[in-house]
């Protein structure tokens, strides 16, 4: 399995900027004879697209990541969007649909079988990877679901995937969950935390955490927090891990007892190789954070840098010698290498990271505009067809939604800025 980041930054789903607390994973099948991911990426990575999943799996083992893992996707058509990561598997071009989820062979049956079995295998690998990342139990109730299972639970729209395609080849969701569980055990590396990957904590959580720990934190520190996620995403490094490391190295940006100072823009003690040594200095916070991210990548991976190297100490690292946070301390590293000599260095970072991830923040709703194309869209007094009609209609035009809610009779309801009432969002498109 190879994860290729192809984030759909032009999609309305990505621009909505909503995140979720990941409670499960939902497996989908694309529903058409298309073996490649790119057509779906092209279709979803544009304004007005109605859907966007977190990843698409191809039979050759390439997994295209379309959204950050904790981003709220548009994949399940119900409440599953608020709790589950959505993953699509491509389908062989040797079949055709005859109605609904029924299909028949149009080509080489062995090719069909090979495609289905290959995407199944790589989906197992991906789901094990995500279960380890988010500490999910694959066998726990409701954690791993197919789209059709989600519908039966009332949290997804009415689709037949993935069982409709798997059934012919003796595959089942029960077996899938068991295979993911076994893969988790094989890949868990004793539950260690990978430095490479997508951040779990949000900018809002990091900001609230540091304000609570250091009420006198400089505004310049608050302003630079998004850079951890931006630079981390660019190199495939978890930016929240880098921020947690900075909190440890700088005394929560108080710089008390730290070998570096705020004006050095060195937030990880880089270059402090002995007591009394001042360490590296960087021209701006951006360059300092980029160097830190690159240094973490040097330890965690052998993959080439994306940005030009600004880490003057990059060349001194044995590439890939500390793939996990726990191995950043030399005393815990199996090869005796690592970032720091102090005992339990990685564990201290993880404690901070856990506290950041558990920080509760109020989700901010960003109003947005929609276009109504039907002249007789009812305005109701509340979010649901069980709420009384106001007797008024929107008419055709553009309106601003200031609040969303679940309710009977629609996938989602939106409250009008005029406060005239609520409308079904199934009949609108975002502007």
**What's the pLDDT tens digit per position in 342-397?**
889 999 999 999 999 999 887 678 899 999 988 889 999 999 999 999 999 998 99
Say yes or no to pLDDT of 246 above 70: yes
**What's the pLDDT tens digit per position in 190-227?**
578 999 988 999 999 999 999 999 999 999 999 999 99
* DSSP codes, 225-263: HHHHHHHHHHHTB-HHHHHHHHHHHHTTTT-TT-SS-GG
Cis bond upstream, residue 177 (ω within 30): no
Q: Specify whether the CB–CB gap between 249 and 258 falls below 8 A.
A: yes
Task: Please tell me the predicted confidence (pLDDT) of residue 335.
Answer: 79
Q: How confident is the model at residue 274 (pLDDT cuts 50, 70, 90)?
A: low
**What's the pLDDT tens digit per position in 134-182?**
888 999 999 999 999 999 999 999 999 999 999 999 999 999 999 999 8
Say yes or no to pLDDT of 271 above 90: no
Task: Please tell me the predicted confidence (pLDDT) of residue 187.
Answer: 57
Q: Specify whether the CB–CB gap between 8 and 67 falls below 8 A.
A: yes
Cα separation, 127 vs 54, whole angstroms: 12
Cα separation, 297 vs 291, whole angstroms: 10
Handedness of CA 416, 422, 423, 425 (dihedral sign): positive
Handedness of CA 269, 271, 272, 276 (dihedral sign): negative
Task: Please tell me the predicted confidence (pLDDT) of residue 132.
Answer: 79
* DSSP codes, 150-188: HHHTTSS-S--TTHHHHGGGT--HHHHHHHHHHHHHHHS
Task: Please tell me the predicted confidence (pLDDT) of residue 186.
Answer: 62
Average pLDDT over residues 291-319: 94
Run of H or E residues at 117: helix 109-134
Say yes or no to pLDDT of 185 above 70: no
Say yes or no to pLDDT of 329 above 80: yes
β pairing state of 62-65 and 2-5? parallel
Cα separation, 296 vs 276, whole angstroms: 23
Residue with tokens 């990059």: 314
For 365, other C-beta atoms within 10 Å of its C-beta total 13
Quote the tokens at residue 100. Answer: 């609904």
* CA-closest candidate to residue 328, choices 406, 237, 253, 424: 237
Average pLDDT, the chain: 92
Task: Please tell me the predicted confidence (pLDDT) of residue 183.
Answer: 85
- CATH for the 203-357 domain, from 3.30.1330.10, 2.40.50.660, 3.40.50.12160, 1.10.530.10: 1.10.530.10
Task: Please tell me the predicted confidence (pLDDT) of residue 2.
Answer: 86
Cα separation, 351 vs 253, whole angstroms: 17
Q: How confident is the model at residue 189 (pLDDT cuts 50, 70, 90)?
A: low
Strands (E), 231-312: none
Domain residue spans of the chain: 2-187, 203-357, 368-430
Domain 368-430 top-level CATH class: mainly beta
Domain 2-187 top-level CATH class: alpha beta
* DSSP codes, 43-92: HHSSTT-S-B-SEEE-TTSEEEE-S-TTB--B-SSSGGGGTEEEEEE---
Task: Please tell me the predicted confidence (pLDDT) of residue 287.
Answer: 97
β pairing state of 378-380 and 389-393? antiparallel
Q: Specify whether the CB–CB gap between 41 and 56 falls below 8 A.
A: yes
* CA-closest candidate to residue 324, choices 341, 310, 345: 345
Q: Specify whether the CB–CB gap between 58 and 90 falls below 8 A.
A: yes
Average pLDDT over residues 34-59: 96
Average pLDDT over residues 229-253: 95
Cα separation, 334 vs 324, whole angstroms: 11
> pTM higher than 0.85, yes or no?
no
Average pLDDT over residues 37-66: 96
Say yes or no to pLDDT of 306 above 60: yes
**What's the pLDDT tens digit per position in 93-143?**
999 999 999 999 998 899 999 999 999 999 999 999 898 788 889 999 999
Say yes or no to pLDDT of 417 above 60: yes
């Amino acid at each position: 399995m190879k994860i290729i980041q192809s984030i759909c930054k032009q999609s309305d789903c990505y621009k909505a900027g909503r995140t979720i607390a990941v409670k499960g994973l939902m497996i989908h099948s694309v529903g058409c004879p298309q073996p490649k991911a790119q057509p779906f990426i092209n279709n979803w990575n544009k304004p007005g697209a109605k859907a966007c999943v977190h990843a698409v799996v191809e039979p050759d083992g390439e997994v295209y990541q379309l959204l950050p893992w904790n981003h709220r996707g548009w994949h399940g058509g119900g409440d599953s969007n608020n709790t589950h990561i959505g993953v699509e598997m491509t389908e062989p071009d040797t079949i055709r649909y005859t109605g609904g989820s029924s299909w028949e062979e149009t080509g080489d049956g062995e090719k069909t079988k090979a495609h289905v079995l290959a995407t199944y295998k790589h989906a197992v690998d991906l789901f094990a990877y995500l279960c380890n990342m988010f500490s999910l139990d694959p066998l726990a109730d409701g954690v791993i679901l197919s789209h059709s299972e989600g519908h039966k639970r009332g949290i997804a729209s009415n689709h037949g995937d993935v069982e409709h395609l798997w059934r012919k080849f003796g595959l089942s969701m029960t077996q899938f969950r068991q295979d993911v569980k076994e893969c988790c055990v094989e890949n868990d590396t004793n539950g260690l935390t990978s430095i490479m990957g997508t951040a779990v904590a949000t900018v809002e959580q990091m900001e609230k955490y540091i304000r609570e720990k250091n009420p006198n934190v400089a505004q310049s520190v608050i302003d630079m927090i998004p850079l951890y996620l931006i630079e981390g995403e660019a190199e495939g490094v978890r930016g929240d891990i880098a921020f947690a490391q900075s909190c440890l190295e700088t005394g929560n940006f108080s710089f008390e007892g730290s070998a570096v100072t705020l004006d050095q823009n060195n937030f990880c003690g880089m270059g402090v190789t002995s007591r009394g040594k001042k360490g590296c200095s960087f021209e701006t916070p951006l360059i300092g954070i980029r160097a830190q991210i690159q240094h973490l990548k040097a330890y965690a991976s052998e993959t080439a840098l994306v940005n030009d190297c600004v880490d003057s100490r990059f060349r001194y690292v044995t590439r890939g010698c500390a793939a996990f946070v726990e191995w950043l301390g030399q005393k815990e590293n199996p090869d005796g290498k690592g970032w720091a000599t102090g005992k339990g260095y990685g564990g201290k970072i993880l404690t901070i990271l856990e506290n950041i991830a558990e920080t509760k923040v109020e989700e901010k709703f960003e109003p947005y505009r929609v276009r109504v194309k039907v002249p007789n869209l009812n305005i109701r007094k509340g979010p649901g067809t069980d709420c009384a009609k106001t007797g008024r209609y929107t008419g055709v035009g553009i309106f601003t939604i200031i609040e969303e809610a679940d309710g009977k009779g629609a996938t989602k309801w939106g409250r009008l800025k005029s406060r005239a009432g609520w409308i079904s969002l199934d009949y609108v498109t975002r502007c």
